[in-house]
């Protein structure tokens, strides 16, 4: 069995998923491929080809681990806990989505692993939103990153040629045509790698939850902007980012419907300013890349994903040359068996 899980680009809507807000991601063609075949015995043998590393563990008790092993063991354990009777397997995986870059190599791995493990056990594929929740438990409980559902939903529900407007309050998904005409979306690595478990990501998440508590709402996106402005700093600015970012997602959907890509560029810039100043999730290396892209004529450029490093997303107007190291990105297929 061979499964492919895509990474994702988030056009806009950052740090909104765990706040019951809005985002507009799409699956990309870069991702992770997982190969699985039945194995005699009672466990799993796993090879991570990109690291030249291996792991072996039992189906009954995968046990905790670090790094990529935590993703594989966690996926096996969470599928088992959810009632799927997995079969022992030999697994090999490799990928072409850079790690620590904000393009969700982790969701790519999780979604491909789920499809490969289910398929090798002869099990039908469950509801993909349920699978996304399961993958998110792997991140939260096995990897130690308190991430939301953005990456997993994008990887599992992506649609070619479309971004997905996700409302995290209801998990309603709405495909939004992403017609760039002769404009281009590119990502550029900042050179600063990040891991959600080790960066300021979990701190920001805790601050958002403290802001929601102070405002008496279950999730920050349900708060009013006026009430949020009465919070103490830094919670005030964290809330301001989340609420303004939600509004920018719908402004982007509206701009795309009108084909107004220049407006999309301005919204990307505004998102970046908010992530940098109000959410304080940027780092020097990312700022340098954003500045370089803007000086080179990008209509908009912003940090992407969890922040504190990783890739920058830029929208380039027609005729502008892609800077060195830029990789074009377009909405591709969701996770699938090959």
Q: How many residues bind ligand GLA (CB under 6 A)?
A: 11
Among 95, 265, 306, 331, binds ligand GLA (CB under 6 A): 306
Please say if 151 is a catalytic residue: yes
305 forms part of the interface with ligand GLA (CB under 6 A): yes
Q: How far is the CB of 38 from ligand GLA (least distance, A)?
A: 32
Task: Tell me which stretch binds ligand GLA (CB under 6 A): 10-18, 207-215, 253-261, 288-296.
Answer: 10-18
Question: If you search the block for the tokens 């692993």, which residue do you land on?
Answer: 113
Question: If you search the block for the tokens 């940027």, which residue do you land on?
Answer: 282
Give the Cα separation of 237 and 62 in Å (integer).
Answer: 41
Give the Cα separation of 53 and 114 in Å (integer).
Answer: 20
x-or-dash pattern for ligand GLA, window 112-151, by CB under 6 A? -----------------------------------xx-xx
SS3 for 175? strand
17 forms part of the interface with ligand GLA (CB under 6 A): yes
Q: Which of 300, 337, 332 is nearest to 164 (CA)?
A: 332
Q: Which of 133, 146, 150 is nearest to 196 (CA)?
A: 146
Q: How far is CA 329 from the centre of its chain?
A: 14
Whose Cβ is closer to ligand GLA: residue 15's or residue 73's?
15
Among 3, 5, 9, 18, binds ligand GLA (CB under 6 A): 18
| Candidates 17, 55, 151, 278; catalytic one | 151
Q: Report CA torsion sign: 317, 320, 324, 325.
A: positive
- Which residues contact ligand GLA (rule: CB under 6 A)? 14-15, 17-18, 147-148, 150-151, 196, 305-306
């Amino acid at each position: 069995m061979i499964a492919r899980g895509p990474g994702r680009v988030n056009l806009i809507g950052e740090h909104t998923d765990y706040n019951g807000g809005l985002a507009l991601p799409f699956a990309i063609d870069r991702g992770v491929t997982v190969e699985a075949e039945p194995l005699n015995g009672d466990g799993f043998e796993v090879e991570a080809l990109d690291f030249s590393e291996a792991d072996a563990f039992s189906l009954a008790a995968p046990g905790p681990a670090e790094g990529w092993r935590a993703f594989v063991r966690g996926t096996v354990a969470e599928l088992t806990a959810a009632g799927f009777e997995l079969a022992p397997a030999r697994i090999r995986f490799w990928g072409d989505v850079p790690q620590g870059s904000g393009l969700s190599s982790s969701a790519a791995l999780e979604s491909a692993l789920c499809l490969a493990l289910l398929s090798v056990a002869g099990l039908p594929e469950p509801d993909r939103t349920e699978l996304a929740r399961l993958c998110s438990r792997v991140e939260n409980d096995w990897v130690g990153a308190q991430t939301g559902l953005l990456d997993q939903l994008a990887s599992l529900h992506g649609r070619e040629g479309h971004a997905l407007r996700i409302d995290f309050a209801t998990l309603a998904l709405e495909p939004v045509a992403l017609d760039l005409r002769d404009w281009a979306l590119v990502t550029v690595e900042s050179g600063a790698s990040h891991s959600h478990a080790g960066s300021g990501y979990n701190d920001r998440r805790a601050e958002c939850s403290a802001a929601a508590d102070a405002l008496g709402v279950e999730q920050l996106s349900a708060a009013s902007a006026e009430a949020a402005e009465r919070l103490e700093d830094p919670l005030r600015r964290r809330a301001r980012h989340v609420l303004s970012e939600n509004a920018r997602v719908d402004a982007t959907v509206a701009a795309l419907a009108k084909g107004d890509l220049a407006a999309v560029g301005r919204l990307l810039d505004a998102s970046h300013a908010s992530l940098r100043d109000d959410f304080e999730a940027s780092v020097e290396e990312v700022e340098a890349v954003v500045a370089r892209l803007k000086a080179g004529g990008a209509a908009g450029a912003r940090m992407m994903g969890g922040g504190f490093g990783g890739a920058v997303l830029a929208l380039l107007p027609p005729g502008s040359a892609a800077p060195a190291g830029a990789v074009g990105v377009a909405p591709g297929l969701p996770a699938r068996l090959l």
